[in-house]
Amino acid sequence: MNQSKRILNEWSIIEEGFDPNSNEASESLFSLGNGVMGQRANFEEDYTGKTFQGNYIAGVYYPDKTRVGWWKNGYPEYFAKVLNAPNWIGIKVTIDGVLLDLNTCKKISNFRRELNMKEGWLSREFEATLKNNCKIKVYAKRFLSLTHNEVGAIAYTVTPINKEMTIQYEPSLDAGIVNKDSNWDDQFWNILEINQNSEQSFIYTHTLKTNFHVCTYMESKLFIDYKPLNTVPKNSHTSTTACSIYKENIKENQHFTIHKFGGYTVDRYHNKTKLIDAAKETLQKSINIGYDELLVLQIKEWKNIWKSADITIQGDVKAQQGIRFNIFHLNQTYLGTDSRLNVGPKGFTGEKYGGSTYWDTEAYCIPFYMATKNQEVARNLLTYRYNQLDKAIENAEKLGFTNGAALYPMVTMNGEECHNEWEITFEEIHRNGAIAYAIFNYTRYTNDYSYIPEKGLEVLIGIARFWQQRVNFSKERGKYVMLGVTGPNEYENNVNNNWYTNYLAQWSINYALENIEKVKDTYTEDYLRILNKTKITEQELTDWKKVADNIYFPYSEKHQVYLQQDGFLDKELIKVKDLNQNERPINQHWSWDKILRSPFIKQADVLQGFYFFEDHFSSKELEKHFDFYEPITVHESSLSPCIHSIIASKLNRMDQAYQLYLRTSRLDLDDYNKEVHEGLHITSMAGTWTSIIKGFGGMRIKNNLLSFEPRIPKEWKGYSFKINFRNHIIHVNITSEKSTFTVDGDKDVTILLNGKKTIAKATLKIS
Amino acid sequence: MNQSKRILNEWSIIEEGFDPNSNEASESLFSLGNGVMGQRANFEEDYTGKTFQGNYIAGVYYPDKTRVGWWKNGYPEYFAKVLNAPNWIGIKVTIDGVLLDLNTCKKISNFRRELNMKEGWLSREFEATLKNNCKIKVYAKRFLSLTHNEVGAIAYTVTPINKEMTIQYEPSLDAGIVNKDSNWDDQFWNILEINQNSEQSFIYTHTLKTNFHVCTYMESKLFIDYKPLNTVPKNSHTSTTACSIYKENIKENQHFTIHKFGGYTVDRYHNKTKLIDAAKETLQKSINIGYDELLVLQIKEWKNIWKSADITIQGDVKAQQGIRFNIFHLNQTYLGTDSRLNVGPKGFTGEKYGGSTYWDTEAYCIPFYMATKNQEVARNLLTYRYNQLDKAIENAEKLGFTNGAALYPMVTMNGEECHNEWEITFEEIHRNGAIAYAIFNYTRYTNDYSYIPEKGLEVLIGIARFWQQRVNFSKERGKYVMLGVTGPNEYENNVNNNWYTNYLAQWSINYALENIEKVKDTYTEDYLRILNKTKITEQELTDWKKVADNIYFPYSEKHQVYLQQDGFLDKELIKVKDLNQNERPINQHWSWDKILRSPFIKQADVLQGFYFFEDHFSSKELEKHFDFYEPITVHESSLSPCIHSIIASKLNRMDQAYQLYLRTSRLDLDDYNKEVHEGLHITSMAGTWTSIIKGFGGMRIKNNLLSFEPRIPKEWKGYSFKINFRNHIIHVNITSEKSTFTVDGDKDVTILLNGKKTIAKATLKIS
Distance CA B665, CA B670 (A): 9
C-alpha distances (whole Å) from B652 to each of A207, A704, B124, B609, B628 are: 66, 73, 43, 19, 17
Instruction: Say what the pLDDT of residue A763 is.
Output: 58
**DSSP letter string over B556-605?**
ETTTTEE-SSTTGGGS----GGGS-GGG-SHHHHS-HHHHHHS--BSS-S
Question: From CA B346, how far away is CA B543, in angstroms rounded?
Answer: 41
Residues of B in contact with A597 (CB under 8 A): 472, 483-484
Whether the CB of A572 is below 8 Å from some CB of chain B: the reply is yes
Burial class (CB within 10 angstroms; exposed 0-12, middle 13-18, buried 19+) of A139: middle
Is the pLDDT confidence value at B114 over 80? yes
Q: What pLDDT, on a 0 to 100 scale, did the predictor assign at position B387?
A: 97
Dihedral angle, C-alpha A304, A307, A310, A316, nearest 10 °: 110
**Which chain B residues contact residue A590 at CB under 8 A?**
73-74, 400
CA distance A7 to A173: 33
Calculate the CA dihedral of residues B346, B351, B357, B361 and round it to 10 degrees: -10
Task: Quote ipTM for the complex.
Answer: 0.91
Q: Is A716 annotated as a binding residue?
A: no
Compute the mean pLDDT over every residue in chain B, rounded to the nearest whole number: 93
**Which one is catalytic: B490, B492, B636, B709?**
B490
Type of residue found at B224:
I
Residue of chain A whose alpha carbon sits nearest to that of B571: A474
> Is position A252 annotated as part of the catalytic site?
no
| Cα separation, B360 vs B372, whole angstroms | 17
**Closest to A432 measured CA to CA, from A381, A490, A393, A376:** A393
Instruction: Out of A421, A426, A569, name the one closest to residue B69 (CB).
Output: A421
Residue B25: pLDDT over 90: yes
**How close, in Å, is residue A678 to chain B by CA atoms?**
16
H helical segments located in A523-635: 524-534, 538-549, 586-589, 592-597, 606-612, 619-629
B426 interface with A at CB cutoff 8 Å: yes
Percent of chain B with pLDDT over 70: 97
B590 to chain A, minimum CA–CA distance in Å? 6
Nearest to B590 among A73, A483, A566 (CB): A73
Dihedral (Cα; A84, A86, A90, A92), 10-degree rounding: 110
Tell me what pLDDT residue B755 has: 39
- For B316, residues 6+ apart whose C-beta sits below 8 A from its C-beta are B713, B715, B716, B717
User: In this model, does residue B461 exceed pLDDT 90?
Assistant: yes
Q: How many inter-chain contacts (A to B, CB under 8 Å) are there? A: 130
Q: Cβ–Cβ of B483/A420 closer than 8 Å? A: no
* Among B541, B564, B599, B304, residue whose Cα is nearest residue B403: B541
Residues of chain A with C-beta less than 8 angstroms from the C-beta of B481: 570
Q: Residue A759: its pLDDT value, please?
A: 47
Helix (H, G, I), strand (E, B) or coil at A389: helix
Averaged pLDDT, B356-365: 94
Instruction: Count CB atoms within 10 A of the CB of residue B521.
Output: 9
Residues from chain A that touch B484, judged by Cβ atoms under 8 A, are 593, 596-597
Q: Give the closest residue to A124 by CA, choosing from A12, A274, A278, A291.
A: A12
How close B631 comes to chain A (CA, Å)? 18
- How many Å from the N-terminal Cα to the C-terminal Cα in chain A? 61
Contact of A568 with chain B, judged by CB distance below 8 Å, is answered with no
Q: How far is B45 from B64, CA to CA, in rounded Å?
A: 31
**Distance (Å, rounded) from C-alpha B508 to C-alpha B504?**
6
Residue of B nearest to A569 (CA): B476
Task: With residue B318 as reference, give the H or E element that holds it.
Answer: helix B317-333
Amino acid A765: pLDDT: 56
Q: Which residues of B touch A423 (CB under 8 A)?
A: 494
| Radius of gyration, alpha carbons of chain A | 27
For residue A592, give how far its alpha carbon lies from the nearest alpha carbon of chain B (Å): 6
Average confidence (pLDDT) over B1-6: 71
First to last CA, chain B: 61
Alpha-carbon gap: B488 to the closest alpha carbon of chain A (Å): 17
* pLDDT surpasses 60 at B1: no
Please name the helix (run of DSSP H) or strand (run of DSSP E) that holds residue A434, with its range, or none.
helix A431-446
Q: Is the model's pLDDT at B742 over the cut of 80? A: no
Assess B69–A contact: CB distance below 8 Å, yes or no: yes
Contact list in B for residue A477 (CB cut-off 8 A) is: 570
Name the residue facing A67 among B69, B475, B594 (closest C-beta): B69
Helix (H, G, I), strand (E, B) or coil at B520: helix
Name every chain B residue with its beta carbon within 8 A of the beta carbon of A496. 567, 570
A254 is in an annotated binding site: no
Q: How confident is the model at residue B766 (pLDDT cuts 50, 70, 90)?
A: low
CB B595 to CB A73 under 8 A? Answer: yes
The three-class DSSP label of residue A379 is helix
Q: Which residue of B has its CA nearest to A182?
A: B69
A571 CB neighbour count, 10 Å cutoff: 24
Interface test with B, best of A407, A570, A636 (most B CBs within 10 A): A570
- Smallest Cβ–Cβ distance between A481 and the set B420, B475, B570 belongs to B570
Of the residues A591, A594, A595, A602, the best mutation for testing chain B's interface (the one with the most B CB atoms within 10 Å of its CB) is A591
Indicate the DSSP class of residue B725. E
Tell me the residues of chain B between 427 and 466 that have a Cβ less than 8 Å away from chain A.
427
Which chain B residue has the Cα nearest residue A567? B496
Q: If you write DSSP's letter for every residue of A10-42 in order, what string do you get?
A: SSEEEEES--GGGHHHHHHHT-EE-SSEEE---
Burial class (CB in 10 A: 0-12, 13-18, 19+), A235: middle
Reported as half-sphere exposure (CB side, CA atoms, 13 A), residue B218 has a value of 28
pLDDT at B76 over 90: no
Query: Do residue B595 and residue A68 have CB atoms under 8 angstroms apart?
Result: no
pLDDT at residue A739 in the model: 74
> Does residue A13 contact residue A321 with C-beta atoms inside 8 Å?
yes
Of the partner residues B477, B590, B595, the one whose CB lies closest to the CB of residue A570: B477
| A473–B572 CB contact, under 8 Å | yes
Q: Quick check: A341 and A269 in contact, CB under 8 A?
A: no
Cα A726 to chain center, whole Å? 24
The answer to whether the CB atoms of B73 and A591 lie below 8 A apart is: yes
**pLDDT of residue B354 exceeding 90:** no
- Nearest CA among A505, A521, A507, A517 for reference residue A541: A517
Interface test with B, best of A75, A79, A593 (most B CBs within 10 A): A593
Q: Around Cβ B145, how many Cβ atoms within 10 Å?
A: 22
The closest alpha carbon to B549, from B485, B437, B468, B435, belongs to B468
**Shortest Cα distance, chain B CAs vs residue A559, angstroms:** 11
State chain B's maximal CA–CA distance in angstroms. 89
CB B459 within 8 A of CB B406: yes
Average pLDDT over residues B485-496: 98
Are the beta carbons of B472 and A572 separated by less than 8 Å?
A: yes
The domains found in chain B, sorted by start residue, are: 5-306 (2.70.98.40)
User: Which residues of chain A have a pLDDT value below 50?
Assistant: 1, 748, 752-760, 767
Which of B74, B477, B594 lies at the smallest CB-CB distance from A592?
Answer: B74
What is the model's pLDDT at position A767?
A: 44
- Does B359 show up as a binding residue in the annotation? yes
Compare all CA atoms of chain A with the CA of B401 and give the residue at the minimum distance.
Answer: A594
CA distance A114 to A729: 30
Name the residue of chain A whose CA is nearest to B419's CA. A69
Q: What is the pLDDT of residue B407?
A: 98
Asked if A591 has any chain B CB less than 8 Å from its own CB, the reply is: yes
Q: Do B590 and A400 touch (CB under 8 A)?
A: yes
Q: CA torsion B314→B318→B323→B327, rounded to 10°?
A: 120
CB atoms within 10 A of CB B140: 22
Residue A352 forms contact with B (CB below 8 Å)? no
Residues from chain A that touch B421, judged by Cβ atoms under 8 A, are 69-70
Nearest one of B692, B697, B689 to B761, comparing CA atoms: B697
The beta-carbon neighbor of A484 closest among B68, B421, B593 is B593
The whole-angstrom separation of Cα B110 and Cα B17 is 6
Q: How much is the pLDDT for B749?
A: 53
Instruction: Report yes or no: B621 at the A interface, CB cutoff 8 Å.
Output: no
- Give dist(CA B234, CA B201) in Å, integer: 12
**For chain B, the helix, strand and coil percentages under 3-state DSSP, each to the nearest 5:** 35, 25, 40
Question: Which residue does chain B place closest to A470, by CA atoms?
Answer: B594
Q: Is A589 exposed, middle or buried (0-12, 13-18, 19+ CB in 10 A)?
A: middle
Residue type, B86: P
DSSP B402-460: -TT-----SSBSSSS-----HHHHTT-TTHHHHHHHHHHHHHHHH--TTHIIIIIHHHH
Checking if the pLDDT of B758 tops 50, the result is no
List the one residue out of A144, A251, A240 whose CA is nearest residue A192: A240
pLDDT of residue B393: 98
For residues B116-120, average pLDDT? 98
* Residues 461-490 (A) with a CB less than 8 A from some CB of B: 472-477, 481, 483-484
Weakest mean pLDDT among A100-104, B204-208, B571-575, B727-731:
B727-731
Count Cβ atoms below 10 Å from residue B11 Cβ, excluding itself.
16
Is the CB of A591 less than 8 angstroms away from the CB of B421?
no
Q: CA-based diameter of chain A, in Å?
A: 89
Q: How many residues does this entry show for chain B? A: 767
| A121 marked as part of a ligand binding site | no
Name the percent of chain A in helix, strand, coil, to the closest 5. 35, 25, 40
